[in-house]
Chain A
Amino acid sequence: MSTPTTAELKPAPPPVETIRIKVDGRELDVPKTMPDWQGKPQPTTMLQACAMAGLEVPHYCYHPKLPIAGNCRMCLIEFGTPMMGPDRKPVLNEDGSPKIARSVLPYEPDAARGAIACATPISPGMELYPSSAATKQMREAVLESLLINHPLDCPICDQAGECKLQEYSVEHGQATSRFVETKVHKPKQVDLGPRIMLDDERCVLCTRCIRFTRDVAGDDALGIVNRGSYNSIAAYPGRQFDNNYSLNTVDLCPVGALTSKDFRFQMRVWFLKETKSLCATCGTGCNITAGAREEKLLRFEPRQNDAVNGPWMCDHGRLNYKWVQREDRLSTVISTRTGSGTWTGVLAEVAEVLRNAPKGSVAMVLSARQTNEELYLLNKLAVLCGAITDSIAREGQGDALLVSPDKNPNSNGVRLTGVAYTEMGIQIPKIAAGIRNGQIKTLVVFGEDVTRHGLEGDVLSRLDHLIVSDVLPNETTQRAHFLLPGCAHIEKRGTFVNVKGRLQKFMKAVEPKGDARPEWEFLGELLQLLGRPENFKSLEGLFNQMAKDTPAFAGLEWSRIGDLGVNVKL
């Protein structure tokens, strides 16, 4: 019943029809069709065939998840096709192999005529020469013309280090510029929208940004104005480029033309420590790469996962990281009862409270922002104390692309670990009533300000014991008798199950502040103090133990969950 439905278990697809070609003289069978930007099968292109042969064809305008434009010419390569006789039969060499006609310019038969690899389909017997002298020359020429009006001031450009123009120029370009004329000047520091700055002089007019916002984000907001070398990317005068996906154009822009106002000039990219994590702002769980330097978070970027977010993420999620390192972060563990300020002291007190609590006198409100592992341990704690548990639903606006109306990252985790079986929050009125009539005397809250969700201050003030763990201060944490500072997900490891049932793991990008610790760590200690020693030593062990105990996760192992997660049965 509870076998995980992972991609590996799907039946193998039927065998694919292939075409035999040669790449740099090496024979290769490539599929006749390959998925296009929307995943529909289309004739395989030269660029895809070269990639299969392990050769990257340099490109600017081509992007696997955007419609093909074929405008930058960077991907030009030399090629040949089997020669046909007048009888429409292949012409053969003396050794019986087919004679290949290299494609040449009609008016200059000595010069190779390249084809743009991104948009040219392969055909049987075709030969591709991505490493030939003629191909190299084409690349040099394209780069030279792209650099004609380019500022060439990489040392002060924020894109340096992840700029395709810089990389290709080093790899495929010429060492010096032959251009002695005056460069055309174009608009710089154009305020394209609330989150994006544009430098038109750096733009190579690949139109990735235009195609993304038109075809993926569904907001046809950008275009090219003016003519010839004055061509500039622009939004309509007076209109802001402000859709919730606008920052993806910054990732897409192969050069330093589009920059994120939030990140530009904050840090040279080569100093960033990059960590694989998730966005926890909604239930979609977009995969991200978190960039940090000296324990300071500096940017989130989408990490491609075609089962979840493709290569994109929304702006709101991308920029929702600053709160993690807010000055007023909860960073001290404290018991207001005894004034104890050490983890050992406070946990011992909490254990004492829970141990002595009569059955039915404890309730727990556990956020769907906690990880599966934490919810699993919390649920154990609840069983131990005979506590009633619930969580808080967080509904908001969704959209057709990525954003989910569920603003919790782990609502399914809450359900699968048994913290709330049905609709989240239906127990809250019961808990409130229990506190009012004196039946519930101890409340454990993880990650929610319950005063905003039906357990107002006057209700909380009737409690004998309020045990709270959170990251940022709020009215509930202020009223806590025992405060256990926890971590934002970006400061710890764990797993979430997204709205579609994908279980995904995330790694720790930065250290938490002060006393704050990953909740699963101190929950393990607490269970131990309560006489339920847990035999996990690490998060891996905890995950594997949870998987054994939780039907929906049966058969899963931490080490076997890849970076892209697995589907679980909801």
Chain B
Amino acid sequence: MAFIVPAELEAELNELVTHYPQKRSASLMFLHAIQEHFGFISKEAAEWIASKLDLQPIHVWELVTFYPMFRQHPPGRHQLKICRTLSCALGGAYALHEHFCRKFGLDPKAHGIQTTKDGSFSVEFVECLAGCGTAPVMMCNDEFHENVSLSKADELISKCQ
């Protein structure tokens, strides 16, 4: 599948480069924008960014593999992000994560993001979402949810479908 960046997005990114003293400094912003649009960073995307910023693809790949927030594969249609930093960990984040995993037939012990076979859901741990007082918290796509009990979790899933 050819990697095609829509003209508007490309124009936006071209403009973005001008904000930085060196083209390379725009790498992270490019990655965010591409991931937002395509949902993940494919190799083709990394190569496209590299050529836009006069870099070798390895230097874009260094960033993609360094930051866990950049995904190398398409996520599920609905993305469940469970906070696991201290307050949430104490408040039941692991049980919540395990609950989702069991429901979707995923491995609760596996490292990193996991996506269901049908591509409908992906589940992953993230770091502090700044809702520590109402732990455990999570995000479903771009929506923020607090005090997520297991029953609230089930409700969330059913709303997604």
Chain A residues closer than 8 Å to B65, beta-carbon distance: 225-227
Does A234 lie within 8 Å of B66, measured CB to CB? no
| Shortest Cβ gap from B97 to chain A (Å) | 21
Chain A residues closer than 8 Å to B62, beta-carbon distance: 223-225
| Chain B: interface residue total (CB-CB under 8 A) | 12
Q: Which of B43, B55, B66, B67 contacts A238 (CB 8 A)?
A: B43
Which of B55, B57, B58, B68 has the most chain A CB within a 10 Å cutoff?
B58
Q: Which of B43, B58, B67, B68 contacts A234 (CB 8 A)?
A: B58
User: What sequence of 0s and 1s flags, for each residue 72-104 of chain B, a beta carbon within 8 Å of any chain A beta carbon?
Assistant: 000000000000000000000000000000000
Q: Which of A224, A226, A236 contacts B57 (CB 8 A)?
A: A236
- Could you give 28 example pairs across A and B, Cβ below 8 Å? A220-B55, A220-B56, A220-B58, A220-B59, A221-B56, A221-B58, A222-B58, A223-B56, A223-B59, A223-B61, A223-B62, A224-B62, A225-B58, A225-B61, A225-B62, A225-B65, A226-B65, A226-B66, A227-B66, A227-B68, A234-B61, A236-B56, A236-B57, A236-B58, A236-B61, A237-B61, A238-B43, A239-B57
Which chain B residue shows the least CB distance to A238?
A: B43
Interface residues of A (CB under 8 A from B): 220-227, 234-239
Chain A residues closer than 8 Å to B43, beta-carbon distance: 237-238
A506 CA to B55 CA, complexed, in Å:
42
Q: Which of A226, A227, A239 contacts B58 (CB 8 A)?
A: A239
CB within 8 Å of A: which B113-161 residues: none
Chain A residues closer than 8 Å to B61, beta-carbon distance: 223, 225, 234, 236-237
Chain B residues closer than 8 Å to A234, beta-carbon distance: 58, 61
Does B58 lie within 8 Å of A235, measured CB to CB? yes
Which chain B residue shows the least CB distance to A234?
A: B58
| Shortest Cβ gap from A564 to chain B (Å) | 35
A225 CA to B55 CA, complexed, in Å:
15
Q: Is the interface of B mostly helix, strand, loop or mixed?
A: helix
Does A223 lie within 8 Å of B58, measured CB to CB? yes
A234 CA to B60 CA, complexed, in Å:
12
Chain A residues closer than 8 Å to B59, beta-carbon distance: 220, 223
Chain B residues closer than 8 Å to A238, beta-carbon distance: 43
Which chain A residue shows the least CB distance to B46?
A: A236
| Shortest Cβ gap from B96 to chain A (Å) | 25
A225 CA to B56 CA, complexed, in Å:
14
A29 CA to B65 CA, complexed, in Å:
48
Which chain B residue shows the least CB distance to A210?
A: B58
Chain A residues closer than 8 Å to B67, beta-carbon distance: 227
| Shortest Cβ gap from A241 to chain B (Å) | 10
User: What sequence of 0s and 1s flags, for each residue 17-57 of chain B, a beta carbon within 8 Å of any chain A beta carbon?
Assistant: 00000000000000000000000000100000000000111
A69 CA to B68 CA, complexed, in Å:
26
A235 CA to B57 CA, complexed, in Å:
9
A341 CA to B31 CA, complexed, in Å:
74
A80 CA to B61 CA, complexed, in Å:
42
Which chain A residue shows the least CB distance to B47?
A: A236
18 more A-B residue pairs beyond the given contacts A225-B62, A236-B56, with a C-beta to C-beta distance below 8 A: A220-B59, A221-B56, A223-B58, A223-B62, A224-B62, A225-B61, A225-B65, A225-B66, A227-B65, A227-B67, A234-B61, A236-B57, A236-B61, A237-B43, A237-B61, A238-B43, A239-B57, A239-B58
A525 CA to B40 CA, complexed, in Å:
77
| Shortest Cβ gap from A233 to chain B (Å) | 10
Which chain B residue shows the least CB distance to A220?
A: B56
A222 CA to B58 CA, complexed, in Å:
7
A224 CA to B64 CA, complexed, in Å:
11
Chain B residues closer than 8 Å to A222, beta-carbon distance: 58
